[in-house]
Structure 1
Amino acid sequence: MSRIFSKWYDFIMGPLEKGKFKTVRKDLLQRANGSVLEIGSGTGVNFPYYHSVTKVTAIEPSQHMIERSRKRREMSVVPIQIIQDNAERLPFDDDTFDTVVATLVLCTIPNPEAALQEMKRVCKPEGKILMFEHVKMNNVVLANLQEYLTPLWKKVCDGCCLNRDTLQMINENGLQIVHKKTFYNGLFIQVEVGITD
C-alpha cells in the first residue's frame, strides 16, 4: 500500500468504522478464541476488539500500514505481533492457529484463492475462519455497476476490487460457511467458515 493511501485510510473509513462497522467487527471478533492469525491487519482497526484470545499474530504487507497500527497494538489488552508478509504464502506450519481473521482484505489481495488456501492450511481442523468483506452483489444492475467501476476504483483505492465474488471463492476452496450475515443490501458479508476435507 502507498504511504498516501495508508495516511488517509482511517480518515476515509472513519464514519463507517464509528457506526455499523464497529458493531459488525465486535460481533465477529467475540467469536475468536485461542491463538489468532489476522490477515491484512492494516491500521489495526480490529486490535481493540480482541478480548477472549491468548494472542494475535497479524500479517500485513505494507510497512506504512504497520506504522499506523502501532498505537492500537500498544493499547491492545492481548499480545499482538505484527509480521510484514503477504497472505498468499504464510510463514507458518500447518494447523497452527485456532482462529483466522480476515476483514476487508480479500478485495485487495492479488491472488485471493491462494490466500484462502493458506488460511485453510494454517487453521487447525477444529478451528474457524472469521471474515467481514465486501462482495459482488446479487442484484444484476448493482453487480454490473461494480464491474464498471472496478478498474478506476482499483487505481484510487490501492488495488481494491469491488467485484470479487468472495462467497463463490470460499465455496470453491474447500471451505464451508457455517454462519452468514449480510449488510447494505448484500454489499458486505460477515461469515464464519469451517474447514472441510
Structure 2
Amino acid sequence: MGLWEKYVVPPLISCACSTKPIMKQRAKIVPKARGRVLEIGCGSGTNFDYYAHNDIETLYALEPSGGMIKRARKAAAELGWGNRIDFIEAGAEAVPLDDASVDTVVITFVLCTIPDWEGALKEARRVLKPDGQVLFSEHGLAPDEGVAKWQRRIEPVWKPLAGGCHLTRDTGEMLKAAGFAVDEMDTMYLPNTPKIAGFCSWGSARAA
C-alpha cells in the first residue's frame, strides 16, 4: 500500500462520502435495517447515526481498512452503541459469518470500490436469511449517453485517485446478476454533485 492509499485516501473518501446529498441518501434507507445487520464497508461509521437503535440486535460492521475501523470505533463510542457493534476487519468477498445468519445487509456507496463485486454480492446472498433484505444506495452508470461517455473516459484516471472507485457500474444489474430480485429502486442525479459521479440508485432487494 502506497502513501497515497494509506494516508490520503481514507480521509478523502470519508469526506466525499459524507456530503449533504449523500447523507440524505443514507437517511432514506439505513433506518429501515432490522435485526442482525451486516453493513458492507462501514468506512468511518458514517451510517451509524441513521440506524434505528431499538430495531438493531447486532450490527456487524465489515471493513477491510484498519484505519477506517479505528475511525468507526470512535464514531460508535460517541453515539453510544455500546457493545452492539461487532467490528470485522475483512473484505466483503469473504465474510466470516454463518449462512443465513443476518436479517439485513446494508450496502451504501461501496460497490463502486470493491474489486470483486461479484464475490461480495455472492457473500451477501449467502449470509442473508431467506426472508431477509438488502438495502442499498449507490452511485454508478448514468442513463444519459452523454454523461456515460464522460464516465467511461474519466474512470481510468478517477480510480487510482479515489481508492478504486468505478463510475460505470450499474447497481441494479449487478444485484440481478448476483441472484437478487430488486423489490424497489429509485434513481436521481444528486444535487450539487458532478453528474459523472452523481447518478444514484437506491432501494431494496431480496434473494430471488
Query: Which residue of 10, 13, 25 maps to 1:9?
Result: 13
Which of 168, 172, 187 does residue 199 from structure 2 map onto?
187
Deviation at 1:99, TM superposition (A): 0.2
Residues 92-117 of structure 1, C-alpha deviations (whole Å, 9 max, x = no match):
11101000011110111011011111
Tell me which amino acid in the other structure corresponds to 1:70. R
Match of 1:120 in 2: 125
CA contact (8 A) 1:2 1:158 kept: no
Q: 2:166 aligns with which of 161, 168, 173?
A: 161
1:175 aligns with 2:187: no
The corresponding residue for 1:50 is 51
Q: In structure 1, what is the Cα distance between the partners aligned to 2:85 and 2:201?
A: 26
Bigger shift: 112-121 or 163-172?
Answer: 163-172
Residue 13 of structure 1: how far off its partner (Å): 4.1
State whether residues 30 and 49 of structure 1, in contact with CA within 8 Å, keep that contact through their aligned partners in structure 2: yes
Aligned equivalents of 1:21 and 1:33: distance in 2?
A: 22
CA distance in 2, matches of 1:31, 1:13: 20
2 CA distance for matches of 1:120 and 1:13?
Answer: 25
Q: Would you say the 8 A contact 1:108–1:160 is kept in 2? A: yes
Matched, 1:61 2:61: no
Query: How much does 1:171 deviate?
Result: 1.1
Residue 36 of structure 1 aligns to a residue whose secondary structure is strand
Question: How many residue pairs were aligned?
Answer: 193
Q: What's the offset of the Cα at 1:77?
A: 4.6
SS at match of 1:20: helix
* Equivalent in the alignment of 2:42: 41
RMSD: 1.6
Alignment of 1:86 with 2:91, yes or no, is yes
TM-score by length of 1: 0.92
Sequence identity (%): 36
Q: Secondary structure at the match of 2:205?
A: strand
Confirm or deny: 8 A CA contact 1:40 1:59 kept in the other structure. yes
Where structure 1 has 5 or more consecutive residues not aligned to the other structure, the ranges are none
1:150, CA displacement in angstroms?
0.6
Once the two structures are superposed, residues 131-184 of structure 1 have per-residue CA deviations (whole angstroms, 9 ceiling, x without a partner) of: 110111111111111111111100110111111122211111210111111121
5+ residue gaps, structure 2, are: 191-197
In 1, the alpha carbon distance for the partners of 2:142 and 2:14 equals: 25
Instruction: Return the TM-score normalized by structure 2.
Output: 0.87
Question: Deviations 1:35-56 (Å, cap 9, x if unpaired)?
Answer: 1000000011001111121120
Per-residue CA deviations over 1:61-102 (Å, capped at 9, x if unaligned) read: 011111122221113354212110000111111101000011
